[in-house]
Amino acid sequence: MHFIEGLFSKLVKKYNTTDVYELCKLEKITYRELDLHPEINGIYQYVMRNRIITINQNLSPECKRITCEHELGHAILHKKYNCTYLKTKTFFNVNKFEKEADIFSSLFEIPFISKDILIGKTLDEVACELNVSRYLLDLRIGICNFD
């Protein structure tokens, strides 16, 4: 099991829910929606021991949910890191953090996947069937152990 899958499973088991908004509340993470710049979907911040997720209020409900899943990934995986600060004020490469948060989000969107669903179909067809982006499907497959 991939370490991100383990953390995701532990969180879901602890609270018995996969509702991302409920998980934010239970983890005592402040969730808010603000009118952000159109290029910004969401932000995770760690300020004075407070975890804050801010989502662009102009997104569709589906995009808000997926963005919140991604930002919750930062809150769980990179609790004390402020990626915005790291990205703009340091030479730290945050690409690894962003990919890990995307993997975390893929676990919400595709909680279970088997080889059977992939047989005889292109990945684009599978993504369409699961109603997820090809990118999230690729990430989810990337952490699977199909043995």
Query: Domain segments of the chain: what residues?
Result: 3-105, 110-147
Average pLDDT over residues 87-102: 79
pLDDT of 88 over the 80 cut: no
Beta bridge partners of 118: none
Share of the chain above pLDDT 70, in %: 90
Q: Please, what is the average pLDDT of the chain?
A: 92
pLDDT of 84 over the 70 cut: no
pLDDT in tens, 44-64: 999 999 999 999 999 999 999
Q: pLDDT band for position 80 (50/70/90)?
A: confident
pLDDT of 76 over the 80 cut: yes
Highest CATH level, class, for 3-105? mainly alpha
Q: How far apart are CA 98 and CA 44, in angstroms?
A: 11
Q: How far apart are CA 144 and CA 107, in angstroms?
A: 11
Share of the chain above pLDDT 90, in %: 80
pLDDT of 90 over the 70 cut: no
pLDDT in tens, 13-52: 999 999 999 999 999 999 999 999 999 999 999 999 999 9
Q: How far apart are CA 54 and CA 106, in angstroms?
A: 20
Q: How far apart are CA 111 and CA 145, in angstroms?
A: 14
pLDDT of 82 over the 80 cut: no
Helix axes 3-15, 61-77, angle to 10 degrees: 110
Average pLDDT over residues 136-141: 96
pLDDT of residue 146: 73
Q: How far apart are CA 95 and CA 122, in angstroms?
A: 27
DSSP of 113-142, one letter per residue? --HHHHTTS-HHHHHHHHTS-HHHHHHHHH
